[in-house]
């Protein structure tokens, strides 16, 4: 059971509510998002809470939640969450945001070239891995903090926000100092200490669905982040492992409208990892938007055949530009619009950026 407090609830009112819960023998803990404070009640005579609390000032409503993912559930919040990335860029609502860039940060030249191209095409967020969890221990593992510095420089150069993966608990604060969005990859979806740690950060979190995770398991993973106090969670459908081997994974397109029915959290789709084949990415991107996705996460590389990883699923800048041209009309047909990113580059392409900056606090 959850007690949702009014936005302007006063400290004495909150203390009176807590005292009443103590009288009922209930245990409770407090979470808050940007709008509300919520008390989560267990034990004691919790069943009496609705009648015992209903006349107390400061309470918006008392909700009996049947879903196991209580904070992510539509039972707690009926309206869709809109995640603010800063400077007017949001995820959720009527706008569709596109996140694009290379699978891995390889070097300054390739990253800057890609960032400029995806910004010019209308992307709002630059993706790129500084830490890369790879199947083989002999594969390229990323540039670590040097990669984060290059991402920050690309943001300064183009105005794009940054999403990048964090794979270890001990690296969370380092990545959060540079990134605008912390990505939890599919392999770490059920790394609960990591989920709790990013839940303590003042950064939006992009949570990818696990390789073979059910929707319930995916939402329960989101619950770990929410229960730690971070309500800025974006879910990412990136395909699940099935018996089909013509594609890298199988895009569960039905997950988008289903999760929207179950949860208030926004859902974006990663068509690149879903199929592993760049030829399929444009069609899967359009299918994702038609299904109600709040955004796309697309891999783009200027020379896919030379990419350090996942080149076969990366679009060229030209292919990405053509895809972006096809999306506004589809978005309008679905009653939405495409979020436009920073079209103007902050520096000339001839200018070399050497000053690296960490992300500002949203």
Cβ neighbors of 86 (< 8 A, separation 6 or more) are 161, 180, 360, 362
Mean pLDDT of 34-51: 81
Predicted pLDDT at 136: 77
Banded model confidence at residue 50, pLDDT cuts 50, 70, 90: confident
Mean pLDDT of 268-296: 98
Mean pLDDT of 242-248: 95
Task: State the average pLDDT for the chain.
Answer: 90
| In the predicted structure, residue 162 carries a pLDDT above the cut 50 | yes
Predicted pLDDT at 189: 98
Are residues 56 and 20 in contact, defined by beta-carbon separation less than 8 angstroms?
yes
Instruction: Evaluate if pTM is beyond 0.85.
Output: yes
pLDDT digits 0-9 by tens, 78-103: 889 999 999 889 999 999 999 999 99
| In the predicted structure, residue 13 carries a pLDDT above the cut 50 | yes
Banded model confidence at residue 260, pLDDT cuts 50, 70, 90: very high
Banded model confidence at residue 53, pLDDT cuts 50, 70, 90: confident
User: 3-class secondary structure for the chain?
Assistant: CEEEECCCCCHHHHHHHHHHHHHCCCEEEEEECCCCEEEEEECCCHHHHHHHHCCCCCEEEEECCCCCCCCCECCCCCCCCCEEEECCEEEECCEEEEEEECCECCCHHHHHHHHHHHHHHCCCEEECECCCCCCCCCCCCCCCHHHHHHHHHHHHHHCCEEEEECCCHHHHHHHHHHCCEEEECHHHCCCHHHHHHHCCCCCCEEEECCCCCCHHHHHHHHHHHHHCCCCCEEEEECCECCCCCCCCCECCCCHHHHHHHHECCCEEECHHHHHCCCCCHHHHHHHHHHCCCCEEEEEECCCHHHCCCCHHHCECHHHHHHHHHHHHHHHHHCCCEECCCCCCCCCCCCCCCCCCCCCCCC
- The strand pair at 181-184 and 161-165 is best described as parallel
DSSP state of 104: B
Supply 267's token pair. 């859902």
Predicted pLDDT at 4: 86
> How far is residue 293 CA from its own chain's centroid?
12
Q: Is 108 exposed, middle or buried (0-12, 13-18, 19+ CB in 10 A)?
A: middle
Predicted pLDDT at 353: 40
Predicted pLDDT at 252: 98
Are residues 267 and 296 in contact, defined by beta-carbon separation less than 8 angstroms?
no
Supply 99's token pair. 């996140």
> 13-27, 108-122, 231-245, 330-344 — which is least confidently predicted?
330-344
Residue with more model confidence, 93 or 289: 289
Q: Considering only CA atoms, which of 206, 197, 207, 199 is closest in space to residue 179?
A: 206
Predicted pLDDT at 134: 67
Domains and CATH numbers, the chain: 2-63 (3.30.70.1140), 83-338 (3.20.20.70)
Mean pLDDT of 216-224: 97
How far apart are alpha carbons 61 and 54 in whole angstroms?
A: 8
Beta bridge partners of 5: 59
Supply 74's token pair. 């539509």
Mean pLDDT of 195-201: 97
Supply 122's token pair. 């209308």
How far apart are alpha carbons 155 and 127 in whole angstroms?
A: 11
């Amino acid at each position: 059971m959850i007690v949702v407090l009014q936005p302007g609830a006063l400290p004495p009112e909150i203390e009176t509510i807590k005292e009443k819960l103590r009288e009922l023998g209930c245990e409770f803990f407090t979470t808050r998002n940007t709008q509300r404070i919520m008390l989560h009640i267990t034990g004691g005579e919790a069943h009496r809470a609705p009648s015992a609390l209903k006349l107390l000032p400061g309470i918006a409503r008392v909700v009996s939640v049947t879903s196991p993912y209580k904070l992510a559930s539509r039972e707690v919040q009926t309206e869709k969450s809109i995640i603010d990335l800063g400077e007017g860029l949001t995820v959720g609502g009527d706008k569709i945001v596109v996140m694009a860039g290379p699978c891995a940060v390889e070097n300054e030249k390739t990253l800057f070239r890609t960032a400029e191209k995806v910004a010019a095409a209308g992307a709002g967020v630059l993706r790129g891995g500084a830490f890369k969890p790879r199947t083989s221990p002999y594969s390229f593992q990323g540039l670590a903090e040097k990669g984060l510095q290059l991402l920050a420089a690309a943001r300064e150069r183009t105005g794009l926000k940054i999403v990048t993966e964090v794979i270890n608990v001990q690296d969370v604060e380092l990545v959060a100092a540079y990134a605008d969005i912390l990505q939890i990859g599919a392999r770490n979806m059920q790394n609960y200490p990591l989920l709790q740690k990013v839940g303590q950060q003042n950064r939006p979190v992009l949570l990818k669905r696990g390789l073979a995770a059910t929707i319930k398991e995916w939402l329960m993973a989101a619950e770990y982040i929410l229960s730690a106090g971070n309500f800025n969670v974006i879910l990412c459908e990136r395909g699940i492992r099935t018996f089909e081997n013509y594609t890298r994974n199988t895009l569960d397109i039905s997950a988008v409208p289903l999760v929207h029915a179950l949860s208030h959290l926004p859902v974006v789709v990663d068509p690149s990892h879903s199929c592993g084949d760049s030829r399929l990415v444009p069609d899967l991107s359009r299918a994702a938007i038609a299904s109600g996705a709040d955004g796309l996460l697309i891999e783009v590389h200027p020379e896919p055949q030379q990419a350090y990883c996942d080149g076969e699923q990366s679009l060229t800048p030209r292919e990405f530009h053509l895809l972006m041209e096809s999306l506004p009309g589809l978005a309008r047909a679905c009653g939405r619009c495409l979020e436009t990113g920073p079209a103007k580059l902050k520096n000339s392409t001839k200018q070399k950026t050497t000053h690296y900056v960490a992300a500002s606090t949203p």
